């Protein structure tokens, strides 16, 4: 094989991977799968896609070897093929944040409307977890919490938060987190908590960012 033929072939293969990521739906699916393995119906429900469309997107990701499937009973569960997939997605997201002012403008405008501009970094949370002055709140769906969560966090899904406010302390700062910075559940939680007199901020990242850094988690690992 000549040099040019070799390079063309390799770059074509790399381009096929990046092409498989060139869809907002598939990027959202990768973020969702970073929480743990999911079946098509769950993915469709959480991304606003039809089951047929969600399945098509998953097949494209599977063909690119970015996700894998495992049969569990009557369902096929999809998960990230390797943690490198999430880290590549994370790097692409950070590139977009740093190079595209429109993205930051949209995020800031949204968070300003939710009064959730203030956040706690992952590094700061890692230090503060040893203290007793905070409560860490996971507001993702309960099954995502069970698949994996930041150690010491408690689970109250965002849709249940209002009815469980009486169980939360007002003498501690409540730090809410969800799937990541593009997930709005933590922002909604902060708005609800602040409206009811609680001290609350969101975590700047989400569970996958925390886990990818090797910080303490409790979970059933789906990504090796």
Query: Catalytic residues, which ones?
Result: 178
> 3-class DSSP state for residue 21?
coil
| N residues, the chain | 224
Report how far residue 134's alpha carbon sits from residue 4's, in angstroms, rounded to the nearest whole number. 58
Report how far Cα 133 is from the mean position of its chain's Cα atoms.
26
Give me the helices (H) in 21-82, please: 24-33, 40-47, 51-63
Strand stretches in the chain, DSSP E: 38-39, 67-72, 75-80, 119-120, 134-138, 148-150, 154-155, 173-177, 200-203, 217-219
């Amino acid at each position: 094989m000549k040099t040019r033929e070799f390079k063309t072939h390799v770059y074509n293969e790399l381009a096929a991977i990046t092409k498989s990521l060139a869809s907002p739906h598939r990027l959202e699916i990768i973020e969702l799968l970073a929480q743990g393995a999911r079946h098509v119906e769950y993915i469709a429900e959480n991304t606003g896609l039809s089951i047929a469309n969600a399945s098509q997107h998953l097949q494209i990701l599977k063909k690119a070897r970015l996700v894998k499937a495992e049969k569990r009973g009557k369902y096929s569960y999809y998960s990230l093929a390797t943690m490198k997939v999430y880290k590549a997605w994370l790097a692409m997201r950070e590139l977009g944040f740093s190079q595209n002012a429109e993205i930051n403008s949209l995020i800031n405008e949204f968070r300003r409307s939710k009064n959730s501009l203030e956040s706690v970094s992952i590094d700061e949370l890692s230090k503060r977890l040893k203290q007793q002055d905070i409560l860490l709140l996971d507001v993702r769906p309960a099954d995502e919490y069970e698949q994996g969560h930041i150690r010491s966090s408690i689970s109250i899904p965002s849709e249940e938060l209002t009815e469980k406010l009486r169980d939360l302390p007002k003498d501690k700062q409540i730090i809410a987190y969800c799937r990541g910075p593009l997930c709005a559940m933590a922002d909604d939680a902060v708005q609800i908590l602040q409206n009811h007199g609680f001290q609350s901020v969101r975590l700047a990242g989400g569970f996958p960012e925390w886990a990818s850094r090797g910080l303490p988690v409790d979970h059933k690992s789906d990504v090796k």
